[in-house]
Amino acid sequence: MNIGIVTAWLECGAGYVSRSYMNVLKKHGHNVRIYVRGWCGKYDPDCDPIIWDMPEVTWGIRYRPIGRVSRFDMQYVNMLHFEKWLRQNDIEVIITNEDHGFDIAKRGKRLGYIVGTYVDYNTKHTIQQFKIYDFLLCNTKRHYSVFQNYDNCYYIPWGTDIDTFKPKPCLKRETNDNTVVFFHNAGVGGMNLRKGTDLVVKSFLNVTGNAKLIIHSIVPISRYGNEIIDMIKRDKRIQFIEKIVTAPGLYHLGDVFVYPSRLEGIGLCIPEALACGLPVITTDNAPMNEFVEHGVNGSLVRVNKTIVRPDGYYWPEKIVDLDCLTRAMQVYVDDRSLLYLQKKRARESAKNKLDWMKNASDLSDKLSNLKNKNIKKRRKPRVNESILWWSEAKYVASLTFINRIKRGYFGDFRQKTQAN
């Protein structure tokens, strides 16, 4: 079966989720092609071309329309270009990843394609619109709880590549062997420092004994605010690494993975850390606590505050109690036998429950059964559809041009203002 995945495609969560689906479907004999949407991927100079610029990857036409004047954003897909790609690759099933709109689903189904999506971003206002899809892929119990009554909603427990993410032999470290190293993956900072980087820093300042904190970010430290910058600079035990690192990342630098995330779609780095043999300290909230069993392969930190996101995301943010987070870290510094025991259990839990290839092994059969039941024939777009798509693409292109002029003008203005 020929399957097309529409996705962002670079060193980010969406890129690795799509790569995981691609790998498991390929393993079961399907031909998988990637269509890259949005302002990302190949156009990012820091992306590794060997890993991301593969023969089966097609880069969509990129747009960056000016905001607040239309419903289109940087995810816009030129349907003329996309439909041509579908026919050239004889695509039968389309899977979208983190699609903010429903145009691809509606238009793809009209053309006779089977269209499904990986569930990640949704609001209370968009829940009903997911019924347009032929199937839904839910990788957490939390997402599945919302969509389980929809037709062909599949719960596929998330996992990771346990052969890529695995403990490394003991390496020489900058710190002595008695130092417990806490590792935190800050990513790109994101909305409200979603991964809890600020919470980690504030709590670690109160940890005593031989301890070190390593923060790995792919954006500069300036993205984390002056308060956090000052704290990091004042505490010599904290190391900030700004670097793009492909899988398996930098988990081998740490002993314990500390990740008090405010909000997660899946929480990819938690299974990755566990597979690398790191106990995980994280928020006692779904989906984080779907991977971590308190006192077994890590520690769950009590939630102190709940905040509704301004963008209307379905799930609210959860803020951990800082004192509880400090105590959770302190335990590993004070009790090395517990640390070594949980490091072993972390890897065991990944092997037993988080092997992606095992967890998603029946996805191939599910999609094949859907295809066999599909009675619609794929067709080319009608003339009126092609005209509509052409007009729409021209409009979005004009918004992109206006945005380029706007960004250039105001960018020059800001530079002159700062210079003065």
pLDDT digits (tens, 9 = 90+) for 152-195: 999 999 999 999 999 987 655 555 578 999 999 998 876 578 99
- Tell me the pLDDT band of 43, cut-offs 50, 70 and 90: very low
State the chain's mean pLDDT as an integer: 91
How much is the average pLDDT of 353-375? 94
CATH match for 2-156+360-414 among 3.30.70.1520, 3.30.420.40, 3.30.70.100, 3.40.50.2000: 3.40.50.2000
Q: Does the pLDDT value for residue 53 go beyond 90?
A: no
pLDDT of 412 > 50? The answer is no
DSSP 328-393: HHHHHHH-HHHHHHHHHHHHHHHHHH-BHHHHTTTHHHHHHHHHHH--PPP-PPPHHHHHHHHHHH
> With 80 as the cut, is the pLDDT of residue 340 above it?
yes
Mean pLDDT (whole number) for 193-218:
96
Which CATH fold topology does 180-356 show?
Rossmann fold (3.40.50)
Mean pLDDT of the region 12-35: 95
Structure tokens at 258: 């500390």
User: Looking at the predicted structure, is the pLDDT value of residue 227 above 60?
Assistant: yes
Domain regions of the chain by residue span? 2-156+360-414, 180-356
pLDDT digits (tens, 9 = 90+) for 94-136: 999 988 889 999 999 999 999 999 998 888 889 999 999 999 9
Helix, strand, or coil (residue 311): coil
Alpha carbon distance 333, 109 (integer Å): 56
pLDDT of residue 420: 44
Fold identical between 2-156+360-414 and 180-356?
A: yes
User: According to the model, what pLDDT value does residue 13 have?
Assistant: 85
Single-letter amino acid, residue 284: D
